[in-house]
C-alpha cells in the first residue's frame, strides 16, 4: 500500500500523526510520493508543501505567509515580526555588529576550541554535550561578550527557548503531552537570563560612561555603544532583547546541525573516506560541502512553519493546484524540496559540490538565519576537527531521549 493510500484509509483525526511518524522514520521514501501526487497535502492541523518552488514561494512571500506563531513565544522581538520597521532596523543592526570580516578569525577560534576539546577527551566524547553545545557556548562567552556567564545556564537558556519556539507549536501537540509545561519552563529560565543580561548591559553602560578605554570589542559592547548615539530607535531595553537573541540562536541549532552532519557522514563509509581526506587537506573549507550535503539528507530543521494571510494558490499551473486559505498553518517541507528532481540534479546522489542555493539549511527570504555567516563556518569546522581523528567512528546511535533534538551522540577514535 502506498503512503497516500494508507493515509486516505486513516481517520482524519489521526492523519497528521501518521504523516509526522513517516517524516521521522522514512522521509525520503514518503516525499517523492507527496511531490508527485499530492504536493500540497491538506490536513486538519497543517498543510504541507513539498516541491522546491512552492517552498521557495512560502518562504519568500512574507506578505502572504507570516511568522504569526513566533509571537506568543518571542513577544516583540523582531524575529517574531514580518515587514515592520523594528524588524528591518534591528536585523540590520545585528547583521552589522556581527562583523563579517571576523569570520576567518571565528573559524580559527572554533578549530582551536574543538581541537582542544577532542585532544583532552582521550579517545571518546559525547558529540552533543562535549562539542555541539560546548563549542558555541565558548564562542558566546569569548566572542559575543558573555565572558563571566555559567556555561550550564547558557545551554539551558538556549535549549528551552528553542524548544518552545520551534518544537512546541499547536501542530506539535500530538508529540507534546504537556505543552504548557514547556512554556512555563521557558518563562522560568528567561527570568534568570533576563537578570543576567540586564546586569551585564548595565555594567557595560557604567564602564562606558566612566570613560573605560579597555573594554573588549564584542557584540554586547558594540550594541551598548550604538544605543548611546541616539541616532536610531535602539535603546538599552532593545539592547537587552537582542543580546538574548544572540545566545538563543547560537547554541542548540549549531549542536543539532553539527551532530546530524557528522552522523550522516559516519553512516556513509565511502563518503566518509573522501571527507576525511578533505579534512586532512590544507584548506578547511574543503570539508564544508560534505557537512552541508550530509545535512541535505538529514537536516536539523526539515520544515519551516508559516501562517497564511490571504488566499494563495500553490502548485499553480499543475493538476495539483491548491488554494490555501487565510489562517492555515503551512509547513514548507524543505527536506523534501532539497530532493526535488525537478530542480535538484540527481538528488539521491551524495554530492559535496552542490551550490548553497540548492539548500534551505538557514531558511530563505526575510527570515533567513541571522547567524548564517558564523554557522556556515562553525558547523563544518567542528565536523572537520572530528574527521581529523584517526579511526573516527560512532560509538552508539544519536540519542534524542524522546525529544526533537540530539541529547547524546558518543563518538570514539584511536589515540
Phi/psi at 220 (nearest 5 deg)? -65, -50
* Predicted confidence (pLDDT) at residue 243 exceeds the cutoff of 80: yes
pLDDT in tens, 109-124: 999 999 999 999 999 9
Residue 229's pLDDT band (cuts 50, 70, 90): confident
* Predicted confidence (pLDDT) at residue 250 exceeds the cutoff of 90: yes
CA angle 151, 159, 91 (to 5 degrees): 95
pLDDT in tens, 35-72: 999 999 999 999 999 999 999 999 999 999 999 999 99
User: What's the pLDDT score for residue 280?
Assistant: 94
Least Cα distance to 379 among 224, 246, 264 occurs for 264
* Predicted confidence (pLDDT) at residue 226 exceeds the cutoff of 80: yes
User: What's the pLDDT score for residue 177?
Assistant: 86
Residue bearing the bigger pLDDT, 177 or 36: 36
User: What's the pLDDT score for residue 141?
Assistant: 97
* Predicted confidence (pLDDT) at residue 261 exceeds the cutoff of 70: yes
Q: Domains of the chain, with CATH numbers?
A: 3-412 (1.10.630.10)
Taking residues 125-133, what's their average pLDDT? 98
Measured distance CA(135)–CA(333) in Å, rounded: 29
The per-residue pLDDT of the chain, averaged, comes to 96
Residue 202's pLDDT band (cuts 50, 70, 90): very high
Taking residues 138-157, what's their average pLDDT? 96
DSSP summary character for residue 130? I
Indicate the burial class of 407 (C-beta count within 10 angstroms; 0-12, 13-18, 19 or more): middle
pLDDT in tens, 337-392: 999 999 999 999 999 999 999 999 999 999 999 999 999 999 999 999 999 999 99
Q: Residue 118: CB partners within 8 Å, gap ≥ 6?
A: 125, 131, 385, 386, 389
Measured distance CA(144)–CA(158) in Å, rounded: 14
User: What's the pLDDT score for residue 1?
Assistant: 67
Q: Reduced to 3 states, what is the DSSP secondary structure of residue 331?
A: strand
pLDDT in tens, 306-326: 999 999 999 999 999 999 999
Contact 362, 369 (CB under 8 A): yes
Residue 196's pLDDT band (cuts 50, 70, 90): very high
pLDDT in tens, 150-173: 999 999 999 999 999 999 999 999
Taking residues 91-104, what's their average pLDDT? 94
Amino acid at each position: 500500500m502506498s503512503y497516500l493510500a494508507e493515509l486516505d484509509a486513516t481517520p482524519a483525526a489521526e492523519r497528521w500523526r501518521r504523516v509526522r511518524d513517516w517524516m521521522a522514520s522514512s522521509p525520503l521514501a514518503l516525499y517523492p510520493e507527496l511531490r508527485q501526487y499530492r504536493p500540497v497535502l491538506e490536513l486538519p492541523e497543517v498543510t504541507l508543501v513539498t516541491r522546491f518552488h512552492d517552498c521557495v514561494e512560502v518562504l519568500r512571500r512574507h506578505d502572504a505567509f507570516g511568522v504569526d506563531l513566533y509571537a506568543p513565544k518571542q513577544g516583540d522581538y523582531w524575529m517574531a515580526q514580518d515587514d515592520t520597521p523594528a524588524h528591518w532596523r534591528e536585523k540590520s543592526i545585528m547583521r552589522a555588529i556581527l562583523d563579517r570580516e571576523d569570520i576567518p578569525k571565528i573559524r580559527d577560534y572554533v578549530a582551536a576550541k574543538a581541537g582542544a576539546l577532542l585532544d583532552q577527551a582521550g579517545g571518546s566524547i559525547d558529540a552533543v554535550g562535549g562539542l555541539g553545545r560546548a563549542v558555541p557556548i565558548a564562542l558566546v562567552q569569548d566572542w559575543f561578550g558573555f565572558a563571566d556567564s555559567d556555561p550550564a545556564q547558557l545551554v539551558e537558556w538556549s535549549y528551552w527557548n528553542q524548544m518552545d519556539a520551534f518544537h512546541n507549536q499547536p501542530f506539535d501537540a500530538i508529540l507534546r503531552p504537556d505543552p504548557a509545561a514547556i512554556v512555563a519552563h521557558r518563562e522560568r529560565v528567561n527570568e534568570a537570563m533576563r537578570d543576567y543580561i540586564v546586569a551585564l548591559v548595565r555594567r557595560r553602560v557604567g564602564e562606558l560612561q566612566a570613560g573605560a578605554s579597555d573594554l573588549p570589542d564584542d557584540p554586547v559592547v558594540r550594541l551598548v555603544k550604538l544605543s548611546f548615539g541616539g541616532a536610531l530607535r535602539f535603546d538599552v531595553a532593545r539592547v537587552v532583547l537582542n543580546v538574548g537573541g544572540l545566545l538563543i540562536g547560537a547554541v542548540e541549532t549549531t549542536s543539532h546541525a553539527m551532530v546530524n552532519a557528522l552522523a550522516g557522514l559516519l553512516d556513509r563509509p565511502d563518503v566518509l573516506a573522501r571527507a576525511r581526506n578533505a579534512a586532512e587537506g590544507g584548506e578547511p573549507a574543503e570539508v564544508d560541502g560534505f557537512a552541508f550535503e550530509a545535512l541535505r539528507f538529514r537536516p536539523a530543521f526539515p520544515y519551516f512553519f508559516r501562517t497564511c494571510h490571504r488566499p494563495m494558490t500553490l502548485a499553480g499551473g499543475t493538476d495539483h493546484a491548491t488554494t490555501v486559505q487565510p489562517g492555515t498553518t503551512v509547513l514548507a517541507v524543505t527536506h523534501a524540496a532539497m530532493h526535488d528532481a525537478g530542480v535538484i540534479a540527481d538528488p539521491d546522489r551524495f554530492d559535496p559540490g552542490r551550490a548553497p542555493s540548492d539548500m534551505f539549511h538557514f531558511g530563505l527570504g526575510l527570515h533567513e538565519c541571522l547567524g548564517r555567516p558564523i554557522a556556515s563556518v562553525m558547523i563544518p569546522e567542528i565536523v572537520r576537527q572530528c574527521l581529523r581523528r584517526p579511526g573516527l567512528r560512532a560509538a552508539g546511535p544519536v540519542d534524542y531521549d524522546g525529544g526533537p533534538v540530539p541529547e547524546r551522540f558518543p563518538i570514539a577514535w584511536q589515540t
